[in-house]
A and B are shown apart, each in its own frame.
Chain A
Amino acid sequence: MSIVQYLTEEHRRCDEVYAQAEQAVLDEDWDRANRLFKEFKEKTLLHFRKEEDILFPEFEEKTGIVMGPTQVMRHEHAQAKDLLEKLEKALETKNKEEFLSAGESLMILIQQHNMKEEQILYPMSDQHLSSEEMVEKMSALGEV
């Protein structure tokens, strides 16, 4: 399996869970919202870890590009993590407006981030790295 395929599927699974969590918040079904959001957060953070701990270092080593796209990606992960905290707080206080508002930023941030990865970074990785080996290493961290 290619890196593009493997990680793109993870993006889609995260989107799916987020859409469900958002719906639960909209319905003010807080138990379901909490459960789904927790699942979304875990999946997203695991996905970030696969990239930051395995894919990006290998990418930097093989291509020699250190201060380029991977740094931008890491920074956007940090921005996303801040928003995840905000969302969690909104859930704790059952603040629907705040959840949806921070969620809007998170969604756009993540979607444009994912597109850059899917269209530029992952294809470059497939070109320069051994895809099989990478996918194997990333799978060892768990499934999203």
Chain B
Amino acid sequence: MIPRGLSLLQAPPFSVIARFFITFPLFGVLSSILAFSYLIKEPFNLPALVHTFTLGLMASVMLGALFQMLPVVAGAVIENPLPKAEISHLSLVLGTLLLIFGFLSGQSLALWGSLLLLAGGLYFTAFLMFFKLIKLKSYTPTSKGMKFALGLFTVGISCGVLMVLSLLGTVNLNYGFFLNAHISFLLFGWVCLLIASVAFQVIEMFFVTPPYPKNFSNLFPLATTFFVLLNTFFESFFTKILISLLFLSFAVLTIERLLKRRRKIPDPLISLWYLGMGFLLMAMILYPFTDKYEIFLLFLLLFGNFALSVIMAMSYRIIPFLVWFHLSAEGSEAPTMYEIIKPSWIWFNYRVHLIASFLSVISFILEYKILWLFALAFYTFSFLLLFTGLLKGCLKYFKKPHRQSVSLQR
């Protein structure tokens, strides 16, 4: 006899993950609203917009996913994850809102508050996970990549903290140097490295593809760290080229895996991955030329579309799978994945996202205000679809009666 619910010993309770996945699309909506307000009323506040997206959306979904993946994929169990995820999630959400308000209003009290919440919450979560990971006895490229990514994340955050402190007038620093470090550590050392590390495992797992070349995935975390350091201390066209080449090769290898996948069924998530890799290719080709401010902005836009496409692909798979997994492990009659979120919904959301992302790039290049309006309308619609889809999926779990003892243990 195998007692039902045992596999939950390894998987954290569903609410740990769900809370992050329900709020992140709302920050997408908020960033569209911010962008919209810039269209009608200057000035354009880049930090406020960027951080709505990077903290409210990207960091949130990535930390949420790590709460699930650390125990299940890397074998690093976080004890008692419920309160830890609560602290991490609440401080991130409130801190991000305060930071945006602080950037927009320039009020130092808001900036101080956001600093306290964000630094507290992010350091707490990153260190918690990092120290679980360094205790592992053996590593896969994925768990190694996660460890490095979390390490680089804390450095990147620290640069951010210092920059806010300098805004507040408490420290004096070379702003340009820290800005470049902040961007390199977070966009490449954290976002790209984490996405790649996860891809090393899930691309093969979700789509049954050949694995990434062993040397490539094994050396990837170290190479990223090395190039990011080079690009921070010896920033030049050459160091930027190195970073570009590294992530271009990741994108090409990923596309190649997907083309060679053994499961050929039509799947909107494959299309999202292709789209994401396409944007990554474009972003990385531009990266060495980001000295020019206009190109830097276009780079950010392409990079954002890359991250967003991959995040959508991941969340539309993770949430239905976890809802099914937890319900079936608890022994209740579990709906299948297509019943939890319909593929037609995901296809529709993909198409809206596709239109939004291409419209935004075209609007940027052509500089037509009216096109931007359309692009933002499509983005807003896409984020609302994502929010509704994920929320409906999560509710399929929360609406069922649960055996508390099982779902709340650990």
Please list the residues of chain A having a beta carbon within 8 angstroms of any beta carbon in chain B.
Answer: 15-16, 18-19, 22-23, 26, 71-72, 74-76, 78-79, 82, 86, 97-98, 100-102, 104-105, 107-109, 111-112, 115-116, 119-120, 123
User: CB-nearest residue of chain B relative to A123?
Assistant: B138
Q: Are B328 and A82 in contact (CB under 8 A)?
A: yes
Residues of B at under 8 Å CB distance from A?
2-4, 6-7, 9-10, 72-73, 75, 138, 140, 201, 204-206, 208, 262-265, 317, 320-321, 324-325, 328-329, 336-339
Residue of A nearest to B321 (CB): A108
Q: Which residue of B lies closest to A101 (CB)?
A: B338
With contacts A78-B2, A79-B7 known, is A111 near B263, CB below 8 A? no
The one of A72, A74, A111 in contact with B205, judged by C-beta atoms closer than 8 angstroms, is: A111
Complex formed: what's the CA distance from A120 to B140 in Å? 10
**A113 and chain B: residue at smallest CB distance:** B7
Q: Give Cα A102–Cα B204 distance, bound, in whole angstroms.
A: 19
**Chain A's nearest CB lies how many Å from the CB of B296?**
39
Candidates A23, A72, A86, A109; contact of B264 at CB < 8 Å: A23
- A111 proximity list for chain B (CB < 8 A): 204-206, 208
Q: Is there contact, CB below 8 Å, between B263 and A120? A: no
Are A108 and B206 in contact (CB-based, < 8 A)?
A: yes
A15-B208, A72-B7, A115-B201 are known contacts; what are 14 more A-B pairs with Cβ within 8 Å? A16-B262, A19-B208, A23-B265, A71-B2, A72-B9, A76-B7, A86-B336, A101-B336, A104-B320, A105-B325, A105-B337, A109-B325, A111-B208, A112-B72
The secondary structure that dominates the A interface is helix
| Most interface-central of B264, B329, B336 (chain A CB within 10 A) | B336
Cβ contact within 8 Å between A19 and B336:
no
Q: Which residue of B lies closest to A26 (CB)?
A: B265
User: Contact between B321 and A75 (Cβ–Cβ < 8 Å)?
Assistant: no
Given contacts A72-B7, A75-B2, A112-B205, contact A107 B263 (CB under 8 A): yes
14 A-B Cβ contacts within 8 A? A15-B208, A23-B265, A72-B7, A72-B10, A86-B336, A100-B265, A101-B337, A107-B208, A108-B321, A109-B325, A111-B208, A112-B72, A112-B73, A123-B138
Q: Which of A76, A104, A116 has the most CB of B within 10 A?
A: A104
Are B208 and A75 touching (Cβ within 8 A)?
no
Assembly CA distance A98 to B7 (angstroms)? 25
Are B317 and A108 in contact, with the CB atoms below 8 A? yes
> A79-B328, A101-B337, A104-B338 in contact; A72/B262 too (CB < 8 A)?
no
Q: Are B263 and A75 in contact, CB atoms less than 8 angstroms apart?
A: no
Asked if B336 contacts A98 (CB within 8 A), the reply is: yes
Inter-subunit contact A104/B337 (CB<8 Å): yes
Output the least CB separation between B181 and chain A (Å).
34
B2 → chain A closest CB, angstroms? 5
Please name all residues of chain A whose beta carbon is closer than 8 Å to the beta carbon of B208 when the two chains form the complex: 15, 18-19, 107, 111
- Knowing A19-B263, A108-B317, say if A75 contacts B336 (CB, 8 Å): no
- Evaluate contact between A22 and B339: CB separation under 8 angstroms: no
A16–chain B nearest beta-carbon distance, Å? 7
A109 neighbours in B (Cβ, 8 Å): 325
